[in-house]
Chains A and B, each alone.
Chain A
């Protein structure tokens, strides 16, 4: 049994905030603690530091396991499909989380300062983020983003703004400018971060499905335009990084979303753009560009079709045969061929002049 550790009031509050960020207790229970400004101690006592380390490591591991690490799935390791739950298929060295000072600095700042009013910064750009840091800041952002007050003030802060997990999970949060600049996704495709991404596949699928279904509620053309631009930038860069790193298995979630969306039928573009209301741009070219960008995920179907073509061309004695077989199996399991056909039909419906050798169809 663990011995009782004594901590100060400040340290106790800090630990409660940490537990809330990790989803152990509801964030509402610590809202007043976060908004309370108080003087931080000169240093934390060893008891508190030990408890922060323990809570952080256990909390994040639990988060990964619950997100999808428990699933008996197959992913590529050294170009070879490996089955099992995350602790069975990933070597210990790759699933050991390490942290820099950044999470603790953030927690001290969050406990001591009023986060939406203070001008004091916690972020130290000189320290390189570890995989554990990135996951922590993503989980913390996820917990804080539901509160509108926190959402606005945290979204633009560097550890969240440069966090590839947060961009992938909450693409719409970053659709605030005309030229969004997603961080590099390459680090997510190797080492510990790749293991995390394996665990997050189911959560990513759920998030993107929800986000696609909610697009029909967007009435403002400008919001839709920015959303489409941000999603296109994220998906294009992520899929490109996955292809470069030979980790197509980690980019299966967008295809899974498409497969669930289309589910053997062609969807009308109104599924995405049906909510767009008056005050549309005057120019037809602009309206069509926005409508097309609203279907940013559907537009990626060509990439999946190309990957499948490439996988089919890999011979038994070629390099990457096992990986190509893996992709083909996953593609077929998701009814990739039919999904891509339906996706293309939906995209064609957005073309007011669509003409094919099979004959003409009426405009939408």
Chain B
């Protein structure tokens, strides 16, 4: 990442009423933002939809998947909207041809990396990855599938981890560390061989830190984390708890 990039704070929402106001353009439309706000959150306020995958409101921004890239018209650069703050006078394109092509390529690479077989997946019909592919009109994968051999971890008594369906969005890692405070999940390896692990790479069921709260399962965008016993197409994720928990904590309602 460009070290000079204007990084957002860990909390995506900015409440400081005294912060500086920036004006710039998204898709030729004049918009304004508070200093420190990300392009993604500004766009969302103006009902401009930018597709995302690793991003989830309520978790710290991560910028890992690069699905939310937007084009900076002046420099021609593609930057991830979830972790980039706009500059005064910037002109941003959210659906230029370059942006759309880039998103599709990234999505194709994600599909080619693991074994995503929608038809027999617990999350079929309720999957963010599948929905993204539909929304972006993805019909073919032009890269060779890697078909990795990845073992399913069903050692937990309530949940199953199937790394074949993991897109390494790290929502599970973040929700476990930031919201639950357990930090059971983390990442092992580098690059294409990265994998989600419980504690020090041990069977999930034997993890002493896991509280079995199930937050990781609910925030997972695909069928990689699912409730045990669910049959094909039965896993429907419920993510409503996250903004609720956040609000209760931020405003100290408890």
- Binding partners A and B: no
